[in-house]
Amino acid sequence: MKQINLLLFLLSVTLTALTAQETHIIFIGNSITQGVILNNPQHSSPPAQTMAWLAEQSDLPFRHTNCGVSGRTTVNFLPAKAAEFNTVVEAADAARAKGARLLFSVMLGTNDSAVRGPLGAPVHPEQYQTNMKAIADALLHRYPGAMILLHRPIWYSPNTHNSSTYMLEGLERMNSYFPVMKKLEAEYAVTHPGQLFMGDTLAYDHFREKSGLYFAEEGKAGIFSLHPNEEGAKELGAFWGKAILEAVSQEPLFSEYPLSTVKETPAADEDPAKGLTAPSLRVYLPEAEKATGRMVIALPGGGYSGLAMFHEGFDWAAYFLSKGIAFGVLKYRMPAGDHTIPFADVAAAFALSKAHAEEWNVNAEEIGIMGSSAGGHLASTYATHTQAEDKPAFQILLYPVITMDADLTHTGSRNNLLGENPSQELTDRFSNELRVDGNTPPAFIIFAADDKVVPPANGLHYAEAMTRHNRPVTFLLYPTGGHGFGSSDSFAYKAQFMQELDEWLEGL
């Protein structure tokens, strides 16, 4: 039997079967995307030409919806404005209901840049960034796992002046959006890895040099170039197609699986819990040749009132993948006093993972659990409340809430899970140090001694209970670090922590 290893430190994407899943492309844009002036936009617009190019160049299954509308700006597609955004949502919901993977192809900015005319114009770069971020956030929130490509708007002549005024001032403003788009790509690479990219950036210069790709339109400042003609639409479609194919041909970093514990995913604008009533498991898989057969399902913390999805969830993916360990991040529902709700989501996540174990190169008997703060309470609950055959293989607990004893627990977590005045029976039932037995899986526990949110005694009492039942446990207590450090590099003892975790995982 292993004994307690108590260390008191005072110094110290993916969906592999891509070809089997249809990608539904939703084109968001203005008159250029809509294909105005063209004789048969349904078959000759840039989106239609994109689909034709993809059909010639790839065997991957694609469908599309053209949501381009003449005269529209980023303002028109803001979620709060409803009309154009709702059209996009309707198309996306219909595609998702058929099991398609969603890709949003966005080219907005031409009308934003106008001196006057379209809604919101002129949209200055800072507001353009705010608008694009609002659109992207709403789409990624509503459609976890979707991909967004931002195409640079194509060139227009500096004398463009029809019912709206563009001119050189507008062209220069549109050019100022390009660095904003690249900045957004960099930001989302951190917050939503693998989901938002720059799309085409080459068509701008290509069209600037070829006036023959435009309709010659009579304007208030002479003949101007703004809308691609038949040949121009075909060439623009090829540029978009190349960017889209490159994006979807990359192995995704993760795949998002909705859970069966709710019948219908709520709309983003109808969900006061910010999507937390829509449970899902985000799965990251290591390269097949690296796979060890192990998997970790992470439960982020948040006091049972929200979820710290990044530094206690997604940001851990690279670490586990480097070890050949599949990694899942569970977006579980908030209990609001009903303790059965988050537990059901954990059970569903484990059932889903075991059902896909062979497909994911995972040993169904080697799926462990990881939890931070209130997520640590939920993880230790699952580890101690389930039958032996359902228990996780191991548990990794970061500054976990363990007890519901009013003197030591995190009060917010207790109230949100059990209600304001839980009975003694309920308090004891969810004080997980009292639930440890001879079948409790091995545990790795870490705290900082100066944690003012969750007393480190939570972890110590759990470790003591593990020892009494001759269960393997490692308890790390570092002198500083506070609460909620997760995977953050700012944690002063991260190097020591990661080394200890490495050795513990190797020794399991």
Residue 370: what are its φ and ψ, rounded to 5°?
Answer: -135, 135
18-249 CATH pick, 3.40.50.300, 3.40.930.10, 3.30.565.10, 3.40.50.1110: 3.40.50.1110
Token pair for residue 500? Answer: 């200890």
Token pair for residue 136? Answer: 């992207």
Answer yes or no: are the C-beta atoms of 443 and 473 closer than 8 Å. yes
User: In the beta sheet, which residues pair with residue 258?
Assistant: 280
pLDDT at 309: 85
Cα gap 408→423, rounded to integer Å: 17
| Pick from 169, 166, 240, 170: nearest CA to 201 | 240
Kindly give the pairing relationship between strand 62-66 and strand 5-8: unpaired
pLDDT at 4: 45
Top CATH class of 5-12+255-262+279-507 equals: alpha beta
Q: Which residues contact 109 (CB under 8 A, 6 or more apart)?
A: 74, 128, 152, 153, 174, 177
Cα gap 110→121, rounded to integer Å: 10
User: In the beta sheet, which residues pair with residue 65?
Assistant: 26
3-state SS of the chain: helix, strand, coil percent to 5? 40, 15, 45
Q: Alpha helices, DSSP H only, in 253-373?
A: 317-322, 340-355
3-state secondary structure 266-300: CCHHHCCCCCCCCCEEEEECCCHHHCCCCEEEEEC
pLDDT at 168: 98
How open is the CA angle 9-495-303, to the nearest 5 degrees? 75
- Please tell me what DSSP assigns to residue 251: P
**Cis peptide bond N-terminal to 335, omega within 30:** no
pLDDT at 185: 94
Q: Each residue of 299-349: pLDDT tens digit?
A: 999 999 988 888 899 889 989 999 999 999 999 999 999 999 999 999 999
Kindly give the pairing relationship between strand 295-299 and strand 326-331: parallel
Q: Which residues contact 327 (CB under 8 A, 6 or more apart)?
A: 283, 284, 295, 296, 298, 316, 317, 320, 321
Instruction: Per-residue pLDDT tens, the chain, 508 aa: give them.
Output: 334 444 433 323 232 333 346 899 999 999 999 999 999 999 999 999 999 999 999 988 999 999 999 999 999 999 987 789 999 999 999 998 887 889 999 999 999 999 999 999 999 999 999 999 999 999 998 887 789 999 999 999 999 999 999 999 999 999 999 999 999 999 888 777 678 999 999 999 999 999 999 999 999 999 999 999 999 999 999 999 999 999 887 655 678 888 988 876 655 444 444 446 678 899 999 988 999 999 999 999 999 998 888 889 988 998 999 999 999 999 999 999 999 999 999 999 999 999 999 999 999 999 999 999 999 999 999 999 999 999 999 999 999 999 999 999 999 999 999 999 999 999 999 999 999 999 999 999 999 999 999 999 999 999 999 999 999 999 999 999 999 999 988 899 999 999 999 999 999 9
Please give the C-alpha separations between residue 155 and each of 110, 119, 431, in angstroms, as whole numbers: 9, 20, 64
pLDDT at 267: 53
Which residue in this structure is represented by tokens 């991909």?
A: 147
**Topology agreement, domain 5-12+255-262+279-507 and domain 18-249:** yes
- Please tell me what DSSP assigns to residue 55: H
pLDDT at 21: 66
Q: Give domain limits for the chain.
A: 5-12+255-262+279-507, 18-249
pLDDT at 251: 52
> How many C-beta neighbours within 10 Å does residue 192 have?
21
Answer yes or no: are the C-beta atoms of 105 and 146 closer than 8 Å. no
- Helices (runs of H) and strands (runs of E) counted in the chain: 15, 16
* Residue 315 exposure: Cα atoms within 13 Å on the Cβ side: 15
Answer yes or no: are the C-beta atoms of 285 and 291 closer than 8 Å. yes
pLDDT at 189: 81
pLDDT at 122: 98
User: Strand, coil or helix: what is 228?
Assistant: strand
Cα gap 193→253, rounded to integer Å: 7
> How many C-beta neighbours within 10 Å does residue 226 have?
22
pLDDT at 248: 87
